[in-house]
Chains A and B, each alone.
Chain A
């Protein structure tokens, strides 16, 4: 069974630009969550989607948004990028409470 797939693996963007990250969950998993990982703040929850609806949201500004498609694939968008948005963005698909993470997208904002 294929794991969680995140694309792209690496991204370099300029301050002020926007970026879209993609996540394909494990087949059969309908819940997709996004996390930001930084050395200073650790792993922080961004939001969760279940059956195309946002079910939970963390404490991040509105520049961070997401969506989920009917096939459970999810995208995360960050608008007006700031230097502090540089991080590893992780997607996790969940089934019966167990969360399985992808390898992440390393975003660098310059």
Chain B
């Protein structure tokens, strides 16, 4: 059973637009929600992460929105750039347990 569900599977956005990727989780024990960016031939790189004590976290053009009651969280990429074209993964885990449950990934393409 997929513990973290991610959508959409693929996304095409114009340069300068907003990219939005959504994730939902089942296990209410999860309390750490990171996003990873992966380029072809590379390992996933930690982009930004959030814990349930806040509803939003922003780092540069990247924002995570978190809805604890709905068990959902999303990544917003503002002013999307062609260099942002990559696969994005959401994940979830419990504090103290370094085993991440990943979503299925979203392939983002930013068109110049």
In chain B between 38 and 95, which residues have their CB closer than 8 angstroms to a CB of chain A?
A: 41-46, 49, 89, 91, 93, 95
In chain A between 37 and 68, which residues have their CB closer than 8 angstroms to a CB of chain B?
A: 42-45, 48, 50, 55-56, 58
In chain A between 49 and 106, which residues have their CB closer than 8 angstroms to a CB of chain B?
A: 50, 55-56, 58, 90, 92, 94, 97-104
- What distance in Å separates the Cβ of B87 from its nearest Cβ neighbour in chain A? 10
Bound together, the chains give a CA A101 to CA B36 distance in angstroms of: 10
Give the number of residue pairs across the A-B interface with Cβ within 8 Å: 58
- What distance in Å separates the Cβ of B33 from its nearest Cβ neighbour in chain A? 11
Residue among A31, A45, A50, A101 making CB contact with B44, cutoff 8 Å = A101
Interface bits B89-112 vs A (CB < 8 Å: 1, else 0)? 101010111111111110000000
Query: Contacts of A48 on B, CB cut-off 8 Å?
Result: 97-99
Q: A97-B32, A97-B95, A99-B34 are in contact. Are A45 and B101 (CB under 8 A)?
A: yes
Query: Contacts of A21 on B, CB cut-off 8 Å?
Result: none
Is A24's beta carbon under 8 Å from chain B?
A: no
Query: Contacts of B100 on A, CB cut-off 8 Å?
Result: 33, 35, 43, 45, 92, 99
Bound together, the chains give a CA A48 to CA B91 distance in angstroms of: 16
Looking at B41, B44, B104, which has the most chain A CB atoms within 10 Å of its CB? B44
B97 (CB) vs chain A CBs: closest residue: A56
- Residues of B at the A interface (CB closer than 8 Å) are 32, 34, 36, 41-46, 49, 89, 91, 93, 95-105
